[in-house]
Copies of this chain bind each other. A is one copy, B any other.
Amino acid sequence: MTDRSPLGIIAGAGRFPLAIAETAKAQGRPVFAILLKGIAGPELEGFPHVRVGIGRFGAMIRAAKGAGCRDLVFIGSLVRPNLWTTIPDLAAIRIAPQMIRLYRGGDDHLLRGIAGLFEREGFRLLAAQDVAPELLMPVGPLARRLPSAEDAADIAHGLGAIAALGPYDVGQGMVIGARRIVAVEGAEGTDGMLERCAAMRQSRRLNWTSDTGILVKAPKPGQDRRLDLPAIGPATVERAAQAKLRGIAVVAGSTLMVDAQEMIRIADGHGLFLVGVDPAGRAAHV
């Protein structure tokens, strides 16, 4: 069934919010954008929109209701906000004790709690991939280079480590080469981790001689897929190339990709593989 109510997009940074908005528009569905102040770019300003401070849940709820939204999508990257430096509004103050509990814990915990606030107001939370399934990484290789059997073993090892960290809400991404995990993603994010790997190669702290290492990304077990799937885009591939990695492996169907054609062009230009695998690391074509 198609829903004629505007799709409310609560937008952080990056290119995903626009991708979602354009898909909805192409489907003939109106869009109402709630742009997070200081975080979302200008990309959605062509659509009906408001800008709201990140702590101001009451204002977001009022705006979404005023625009007639029933469905909301949370999309775009977000540096974890600091409860004490955002300007809370009444709704936020009402829920302050609960917010404080939310902030004690990892990002999943925080996001799930915020999602609950909107659901209690009667909104339906959609996953980005529900609106735009073409954003999901497919199974198998996208670029010309294919992972070797060696690579497949590294990918499985990395996915195992990510799964082991799942209960701790950290480590959605890792860099691994020759069965050795050399970098684990924390608050610095995937880009920061890849920049670190490039720097460690330059300083010879990481003294790999030839292209070695794979970026492996997977959703954390129990992660709310409506809120925070791992995501890759052209910048990810570019940074992986700068770190002289062999390729990128992400869990198919659980990783969002923006601008796939551009990603493939960059991967082929640098000779990287770019493969969607199952949670055990198997790729249909490998």
A-B contact pairs, 12 of them (CB 8 A): A81-B207, A82-B207, A82-B209, A104-B179, A164-B164, A164-B165, A170-B184, A175-B186, A187-B200, A187-B205, A188-B200, A189-B205
Complex interface residues of chain A between 35 and 91 (CB less than 8 A to chain B): 79-82, 84-85
- With A181-B186, A187-B200, A188-B205 already in contact, the answer to whether A160 and B168 are too (CB < 8 A) is yes
- With A79-B204, A168-B164 already in contact, the answer to whether A85 and B186 are too (CB < 8 A) is no
A285 on the B face (CB < 8 A): no
CA distance A103 to B177 in the complex (A): 10
**Cβ contacts under 8 Å, A183 to chain B:** 186-188
A116 on the B face (CB < 8 A): no
Extra contacts besides A103-B178, A106-B181 (5): CB < 8 Å: A82-B207, A106-B180, A170-B180, A171-B181, A187-B206
A161-172: CB near B (< 8 Å → 1, else 0) gives: 100110111110
A133 on the B face (CB < 8 A): no
A235 on the B face (CB < 8 A): no
Interface residues of A (CB under 8 A from B): 79-82, 84-85, 103-107, 157, 160-161, 164-165, 167-171, 175, 178-189, 192, 196, 200, 204-209
| Interface of chain A, main secondary structure | loop
Number of copies: 2
CA distance A183 to B85 in the complex (A): 22
**Cβ contacts under 8 Å, A80 to chain B:** 207
Residue on B nearest A167 in the bound complex, by CB? B164
Residue on B nearest A204 in the bound complex, by CB? B79
Contact B188 A106 (CB under 8 A): no
- With A84-B209, A207-B79 already in contact, the answer to whether A168 and B181 are too (CB < 8 A) is yes
